[in-house]
């Protein structure tokens, strides 16, 4: 398994459920680190290894060797290991397919097609391209919760909701435009646990375990940026995220004061541990 994001980890989990041996290589410090940040993602190391995954972090695949018939036989890793292998699953993320729009006059970059809040695609002069809408993985749009920072969400739940907004606006026209302002969210089931997120954890520079314990694999974490809560993650505790969604929507200060009965003794925020940080400031004001 090449890549330890959600896709790679879910496939690895399914393979272990089938009793198949799995080696997973991940260039970060822990699986899911690009989505959860290195601090929170640490719990996935023992999670995967306890499930029987041969996990190699801070490691990449340098080469895949085949035989004369074109069948995979070996994987050469950056730590010097040479593994016998007959199947490789490559899960290194997605790249927006916008090459076909070259010369179209529409605004597009490596993050996808640029849209306004109503899913209308913008032309190169920042004006609306009449009659053209976008939804799903290819669409980036300004989210009101994040100072209209451009957001793209690669998750089917957003694609469904964004498509509903785009369809409504296509049918009703400019007189009854509806904005796409759904709270970002995603979820994943892997290695016997449920991981669910709301808001934009990747926009954060700090994180705080607010409930439960990562060691017990049942906890919640709040993510903050510039004194405001911007996201939250729950592991095997999906129902409690409704309250965190309300805090994010209300632009509550970070760290939040929850007075939770299952709060850890140490409530000191830690660096979120993302390899990149959002460049745009996020105001704590409405």
Dump pLDDT digits (tens) for 175-188.
899 999 989 999 99
Whether 281 shows a pLDDT value over 50: the answer reads no
How many C-alpha atoms does 72 have within 13 Å on its Cβ side?
A: 13
- Bridge partner residues of 199 (DSSP): 231
215 three-state secondary structure: helix
pLDDT band at 276 (very low <50, low <70, confident <90, very high): low
Strand order in the sheet with 193-199: 185-190, 193-199, 228-235, 218-225, 206-213, 270-271
Q: Are 267 and 255 in contact (CB under 8 A)?
A: yes
Sign (positive or negative) of CA dihedral 60, 40, 42, 44 = negative
Nearest residue to 189 via CA among 231, 142, 238, 226? 238
The pLDDT score that the predictor gives to residue 91 is 95
Nearest residue to 232 via CA among 215, 214, 220, 218? 220
CA separation for the pair 143, 155 (Å, rounded):
16
- Bridge partner residues of 74 (DSSP): 65, 84
How confident is the model over 201-233, as pLDDT tens digits? 999 999 999 999 999 999 999 999 999 999 999
Q: What angle do CA 201, 205, 208 make, to 5 degrees?
A: 70
How confident is the model over 226-272, as pLDDT tens digits? 999 999 999 999 899 999 999 999 999 999 999 999 999 999 999 99
């Amino acid at each position: 398994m090449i890549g330890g994001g959600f896709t790679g980890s879910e496939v690895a989990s399914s393979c272990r459920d089938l009793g198949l041996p799995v080696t997973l290589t991940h260039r970060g410090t822990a699986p899911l680190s690009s989505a959860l940040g290195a601090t929170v993602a640490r719990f996935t190391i023992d999670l995967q290894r306890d499930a029987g995954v041969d996990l190699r972090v801070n490691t990449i695949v340098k080469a895949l060797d085949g035989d004369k018939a074109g069948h995979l036989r070996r994987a050469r890793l950056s730590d010097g290991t040479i593994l016998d292998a007959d199947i490789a699953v490559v899960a290194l993320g997605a790249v927006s397919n916008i090459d076909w729009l070259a010369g179209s006059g529409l605004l597009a970059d490596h993050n996808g097609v640029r849209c306004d809040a109503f899913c209308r695609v913008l032309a190169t002069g920042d004006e609306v391209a009449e009659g053209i809408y976008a939804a799903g993985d290819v669409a980036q749009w300004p989210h009101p919760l994040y100072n209209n920072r451009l957001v793209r969400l690669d998750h089917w739940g957003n694609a469904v909701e964004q498509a509903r907004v785009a369809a409504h606006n296509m049918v009703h026209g400019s007189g009854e435009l509806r904005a796409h302002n759904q709270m970002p969210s995603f979820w994943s089931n892997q290695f016997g646990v449920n991981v669910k997120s709301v808001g934009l954890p990747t926009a954060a520079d700090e994180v705080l375990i607010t409930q439960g314990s990562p060691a017990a694999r049942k906890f919640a974490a709040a993510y903050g940026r510039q004194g405001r809560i911007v996201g939250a993650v729950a592991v095997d505790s999906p129902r409690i995220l409704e309250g965190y969604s309300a805090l994010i929507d209300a632009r509550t200060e970070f760290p939040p004061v929850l007075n939770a009965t299952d709060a850890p003794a140490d409530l000191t925020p830690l660096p979120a541990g993302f390899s990149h940080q959002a460049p745009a400031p996020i105001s704590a004001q409405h």
